[in-house]
Every structure is written in C-alpha cells, then in structure tokens.
Structure 1
Amino acid sequence: MERIRIDKQASNAVDAFLEYRRIVGEDDGGQLFSEDEFKKYKEIMLPRRMKNRLYVSFGVPGQIDCKLIGPETPCFCTHRYKQHCTDFEELPKERPILLPCRARGCQCVSYQYAHMNGSRPVRCQCKHTTTEHSESPGHPCKKCSHCSGYRSPFTCGCGQPGYAHVTLVETKEERMARGHPVGRDVPYAAMGGLTGFSSLADGYLRLDPSGIGPLSFSILKSDRLESDHVFERANTSLSQTAGKDIYLYVLSCFF
C-alpha cells in the first residue's frame, strides 16, 4: 500500500478547510467564502451559536435519548440535519420548535428522524419505505390509499416501538431541566444533540445518559467498594468530569 505524504503547509491547509467546513456548513452555497466574508460570517454566527444552540434528540418522552442527532444524521425527507434551519438570531417562543429543510423543492416543515435498520430507513406498517411517503406533515403514503401516515412498528433497542418515539428540539435550559448533558458551547454548525464522544452511540449502548465519553483514569483507578459499580461512580461525578469532553467532529460526520 502506497502512503500519501503531505508537508506541514499542506497539512495546515487541510486543517483550515475542515475548520471552515465545520463552522460554515452549507451556508456558502458551495462557493467558498473569501477571507473577509469568512471573518464577517464568524463575527455574526459564532456568538449566535454559542448563545442559541438547539439540542436535537430522538426517543420516548421521559426516557433515554435513543438517538442524538448530528450534522450528517438523515431526516425523514432524506436530507441531512445540517441541511435544515439550525441557526436562529432569537430562539422561537412557540413549541415545538420547527427546523424546516432548506433543500430546494423539499416540503419538509421540520427535521424528523426516522428509525434506521442498518443503513436503510425502517418500513411503515403499510410495508412501504419512508421515501414512498410524503415529506409533508403527516407523511401520507404515496403508494397506497389505506395508509393515513407513516407509522413504524420497529422495536427500538430501548424496547419501545418506533411510533412511540418523537424527535425533540430543545434549548440548553430545557435540556438541563430534563437532567441531560449540554456539553460545552461550540461554534460549529448543526451540532444538534452531540455533547461528547459517546453521543455517537445509540442510547441503549451508551451505558449511561451523560454522553461525556470514556471514564477518566482517576475514576477507574480510585478505591471503591466492591458493590460500587464503576459506571455508578461515573454518574455521581458528572460535574467533575463534564469538562473533559473531547469533541470529535470529524467522526460525528458519519452519524
């Protein structure tokens, strides 16, 4: 296997482009901003994101977040979360908060996650796929007349059927009131519900609801009673370990 080698200048250029893409997302319409345009964009958008970030999750109300939404997570309309409206100058007062799709011609009025079976969306109880249902409100089936709207009987890893799940869009304050992690304020576009490394895993695989990532070495090596499970100790120390989150945005682009 032949290795590709690049010098430090080229490596810095790649890092700069990745940072640009994380911040700008698709707001440049496919045409890279000039240095002045990028600087002006950051002056406007970064303070807005740090203040008005929205957290998006998918789960059964009152239970764990089965899926935390990231920039590349697909919507029912097949477009990615990052292709929806995710930045607001002022947070909406109405609930639920709507995040309409910005893709040309799409009728999606707000981001909505649909259960996936591997890389494919789960079929409706009428046996048709999500793409065979309309992206408009209610998601009526375009193939059969007896289906009044998409309803998935798929059983999630949490043990509940797909139709019992909802896509929740909430503010930082609302998420904290539910006792769920908010991570650190970041300037990146469409971060959704990602607050740490373990946020990339499904809810029933995260082992704890924190999303803060792997346990610290001090917790793993600390003295504890035999009955005191290591993950129980971690959950009682969230306030001490939350500051150690590691944002792996490049990995999040695959989820």
Structure 2
Amino acid sequence: MPATPSSNPTTPAAFSAVAPYYDHLMSGVPYRFWIAYVERLWKKHSLAPKSVLDLACGTGTVTRMLAQRGYVTAGVDLSGPMIAIARERATEENFSIPFYEQDAADMDLGVSRFDAVISLFDSLNNILEDDRLQSAFRRMHDHLNPGGSFIFDVNTEFALEQGMFNQSCSRKDEPLHYRWRSRYNSETRICTVSMTFSYDSGTGERETFKETHIQKGYAKDEITRWLKEAGFATVTVYDGYSTDPPRKRSDRLFYVAVK
C-alpha cells in the first residue's frame, strides 16, 4: 500500500482517513528486505550515495531506517496527515529529518540536491496522467547530483489486471479490519480500488471509514522513454526484487535511472 506521490482530483481523501492506521496496516511489510534490495541495486550499479530523498515517504518509516544506517535523508509526500505523522515519528526517535508536503510532479526543494532518490511500494502508479508522471521524472532528475540515481518500483499492467489489490482481513484478534475490491479498465489502464476499513481501539466499538485509491498501469517502454527524455543517461529495468530482466508475467518492476 503506497503513499501518495501526486495529486489526483478524483481521490482527494486518499491517504487521509487511513493515515492514523497506516503504520499498523503496513506492519507486515519487510522494510529491511526492501532497503537491502535497494542497496543491492546501488552496489550493482557502482553507486555509493550518502544523501537520499524518499519520495512518497508516507509516515517516514523507510526514511528513518535509512537515517539509522547512516544516510542523510529527507522525505516528500503529498498527504498532509502522513507528513505530520512522519515528523512526529522522527522527533520521537531524535532524528532531524526534513519532511515536505509536496506533489512529485511539481516538487521544488530549492537548492537541495541528493545522491539518490527512491520511491517504493508502487507509489508512482498513483500518478494517473502521463504528463504528470513525465514531470515527476524531470523534477527527480533536477534534484539529483551528477551521477545520482533514481530507483523506484511500479505495479505492472499484468498485476493490476489480475486483481492484486483484492484483499481482506477480518481476524478477531486483529484490531484493523479491511476489505479491498478493485476494478481494472484495460482501455484506460486505470485500476480503481474501493477500500473499507474498521478499527477497534480497544473499546469494543469499531470505527468504519472508506477510501478510494486509483492506480494506472504503465508500459515498461514508455517509462524508459520518459526517463531518458527527462535527462537520465542510463535506465535499467529489473523483475521485482531480483537482478533478472522483466518477464511477461512480472507483477512488479524496479527501475534504476542514473543521471
């Protein structure tokens, strides 16, 4: 479940109502595995970044974990409630990490430049317009130091078509229950996910809320082309969590774009 990288007028409440429960919802995510994989990709491409921008950082878990590993970090997310929690968590853990509430497609951090930008958990699928995604690629390129890298993952069209968002949890011992159902339009490549949540804080009464999240599937060739048009010198694409080339049935692809 990604954080929010870019605005979308059809889903103004996305990642707002769910923000207080986001960390609980993501508690099963193997964050250390994801970070180790990113570091593996950096090493494979002979990259040794010292400063990292976490795009669509959500509540800042990855941002803080990278800081714990010695990187100088910053985070960006469109969701104000998520950024507020990220700042609170950083303060609690005595980290001085800047977090910015900004849209990826219009991101402007002044003179700040980074050795690497990362965007994980299929966050860029939330950008629904081709020109906005292209703009985000240009903004990331402009905020990188020479030789810097941009690593991100996306859900493939195959994954969205196969209903990978159809999930539910209603275990009695689980305070957060959810039911997600998706609809995919193969012509527009838009996947609409209707999400219903209920949370029991210990009172025995459940608070119910809903959100609608929308993702778009993008083809490997068009993402690669747009990255090169944004100015990246090299673009390499991997089947998810590996260093193998993409497969026809890959459900997640990782991109390594180097300035």
Q: Is the shorter-chain TM-score for this pair beyond 0.5, marking a shared fold?
A: no
- Decide which structure has greater strand share: 2
TM-score (norm 1): 0.25
